[in-house]
Structures are given as structure tokens and as C-alpha cells.
């Protein structure tokens, strides 16, 4: 009886050891198989994040193609996405004015990464106390975005560090090529024709970087949330357009072109097709990625300003 008891104990111990070993062996694989949940606030940020992370993460974009971050209204699903997220990539500078409240309400503990950190900032000409949040319109600033994303991902997911470094390096090379291409294309536009009138004040960084002048905006504001312009403001812009010899007014993919068309009719100028300003276009469109968006915008400017 004693021998049998010892044998049973040995069998039980062996079984427990085998079970423990199987858990130890399979657990790391399960951990590595699980992807980190990432939230990007806008479609442009989402595209840059995807270029750095590839398929190593589960990515959710809050403000999708043709969406206006200025007027975005968070949904219950967005709160759930933030609660599940490990990292949130945001532009900052007041663009996502709704994010602090949403983050708090969701109970999220995600790391928030402000991608505009390190970007040389500009203020609005008419409101020098306000910082312009549209930093992505200068390709050099999106290179900074890329580096900030890479550094953040290497901290939270060191297992894929080599992937993030390789992807970021490749994308930065593409962005540097894009920046050089933009400068070459702009050089074909006479300097005295590089005058911009858009729906809202979104192209300041683009103008500063590539030698354009923002003459005015149909909505005299940095945000599309502003009220329609007064008769006095519209009359002032009309006078500027006529005096400066502006040939075209540019509407945007995130806002109605109604006001731009009314201005063009009064001023006798053309309303150009929509520029991609604060958001990408849908899949299959000319602005489905950040690089395609910039290329499309520059080609449009060349066509209507030369």
C-alpha cells in the first residue's frame, strides 16, 4: 500500500509539472500574438502611423476620410476605442479640442502621444495669440511626426523595434523625396502667382514652407466651426482678391464649397476642385494617402495658378 501511494503521488506531481510546462511554453506566444490597440485621431495621422507600424498593431482612426476634426462629435464607439487603446496618437495644438473630455469619460489609461512635439510652430497672422495646428501641410513636419511615432512604438512595443525602425526609415526617405518634388513643382509657378484663397485658414504651414502667400480665407478663421463671414468681411476679401489679381479660389474636401462659389461669382474668378486639407480622401481617391494628397494638391495649384 505504501508503494502504491508513492507511485500515485509521483504520477500526480508529474502531471502537474507537465501542465505547468505547457502553460509556460504557450503563454509567451499568446502575448506576442496579441496586437496593441492604437487610436489615431485623424485620417492623416492614421496613414502616417500605418506606414510606421505596418500590420503589427490594431489601428482605429476616429475622424476618417473627408472628416473634419474641427467639428467632430465623439460617438460611444469612440469612447470604447479609447478605453481599449494602449496608445493614442494626436496632433495637439487644440485641433482635437474634444479629446481631453472624451479621454476622461472613457476611463482610458492609454499613453497619449502629441505628434506636433518638436515642430517649429507658427501663429495666425490675424490672431497672433493662437498657434496654427495645421502642421502636416509642411512635409518636413510629417517627418517629425514619423520620428515621434517610431520612438513611442519602440517604447511600448520593443518586440517590434526593428520593424518600426525599418518602416520609419523607409517612409522618411519617401517624405524627403516628396518634399524635394514639391519644391521642384512649385518652382514652375511664377512667384507673383503663388497666392492662395481657401475656405478656412489651413495652408499657412504649406505657404510658409513652399513660398506661397495666403491672401485670405472665405471663412475668416482657423476652424470651420466659425460662423459664416459677415458682409463686411466678405467685401474686404473681395477687394483683396481683385486687387491682388487672384485667379482661383480653392475649396476643401472637409467643407462645403457654397461660400467659395459665392465669392468666386462676385469676384469673377474660378472655383478650383477641392484641395485635401485637414483629411485624406476615401480609398481609391486621389487623396487616399498623405503622399498622394500632397501630390494632388500641388498639381492642382500648378494647374490653376500658372
Q: pLDDT tens, 185-217? A: 999 999 999 998 887 789 999 999 999 998 877
Q: pLDDT tens, 246-262? A: 878 888 888 765 666 67
Q: What is the pTM (predicted TM-score) of this model?
A: 0.84
Q: Judge residue 124's burial from the number of C-beta atoms within 10 Å of its C-beta, 0-12 exposed, 13-18 middle, 19 or more buried.
A: middle
Domain with CATH 3.40.50.1980 in the chain: 33-182, 188-305
**What is the CATH code for 33-182?**
3.40.50.1980
Contact 246, 195 (CB under 8 A): yes
Class of domain 188-305: alpha beta
- In the chain, pLDDT over 70 holds for what percent of residues? 78
Q: Which residue has the cell 520620428?
A: 147
Phi, psi of 107 (to 5 degrees): 75, 20
Q: pLDDT tens, 207-245? A: 999 999 988 777 654 444 444 556 666 667 767 777 677
CA atoms of 107 and 109, how far apart (whole Å): 7
Is pLDDT of 56 > 90?
yes
Amino acid at each position: 500500500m505504501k508503494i502504491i501511494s508513492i507511485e500515485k503521488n509521483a504520477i500526480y506531481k508529474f502531471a502537474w509539472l507537465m501542465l505547468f510546462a505547457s502553460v509556460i511554453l504557450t503563454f509567451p506566444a499568446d502575448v506576442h500574438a496579441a496586437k496593441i490597440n492604437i487610436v489615431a485621431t485623424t485620417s492623416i495621422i492614421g496613414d502616417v502611423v500605418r506606414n510606421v507600424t505596418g500590420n503589427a498593431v490594431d489601428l482605429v482612426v476616429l475622424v476618417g476620410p473627408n472628416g473634419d476634426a474641427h467639428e467632430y462629435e465623439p460617438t460611444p464607439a469612440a469612447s470604447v476605442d479609447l478605453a481599449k487603446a494602449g496608445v493614442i496618437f494626436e496632433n495637439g495644438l487644440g485641433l482635437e479640442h474634444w479629446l481631453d473630455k472624451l479621454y476622461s469619460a472613457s476611463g482610458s489609461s492609454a499613453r497619449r502621444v502629441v505628434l506636433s512635439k518638436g515642430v517649429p510652430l507658427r501663429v495666425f497672422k490675424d490672431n497672433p495669440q493662437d498657434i496654427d495646428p495645421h502642421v502636416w501641410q509642411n512635409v518636413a513636419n510629417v517627418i517629425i511626426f514619423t520620428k515621434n511615432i517610431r520612438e513611442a512604438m519602440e517604447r511600448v512595443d520593443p518586440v517590434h523595434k526593428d520593424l518600426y525602425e525599418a518602416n520609419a526609415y523607409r517612409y522618411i526617405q519617401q517624405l524627403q523625396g516628396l518634399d524635394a518634388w514639391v519644391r521642384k513643382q512649385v518652382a514652375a509657378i511664377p512667384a507673383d502667382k503663388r497666392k492662395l484663397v481657401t475656405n478656412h485658414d489651413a495652408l499657412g504651414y504649406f505657404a510658409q514652407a513652399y513660398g506661397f502667400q495666403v491672401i485670405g480665407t472665405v471663412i475668416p478663421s482657423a476652424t470651420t466651426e466659425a460662423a459664416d463671414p459677415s458682409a463686411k468681411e466678405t467685401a474686404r476679401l473681395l477687394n483683396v482678391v481683385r486687387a491682388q489679381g487672384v485667379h482661383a479660389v480653392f475649396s476643401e474636401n472637409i467643407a462645403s464649397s457654397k461660400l467659395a462659389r459665392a465669392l468666386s461669382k462676385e469676384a469673377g474668378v474660378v472655383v478650383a476642385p477641392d484641395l485635401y486639407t485637414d483629411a485624406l480622401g476615401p480609398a481609391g481617391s486621389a487623396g487616399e494617402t498623405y503622399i498622394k494628397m500632397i501630390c494632388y494638391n500641388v498639381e492642382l495649384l500648378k494647374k490653376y495658378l500658372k
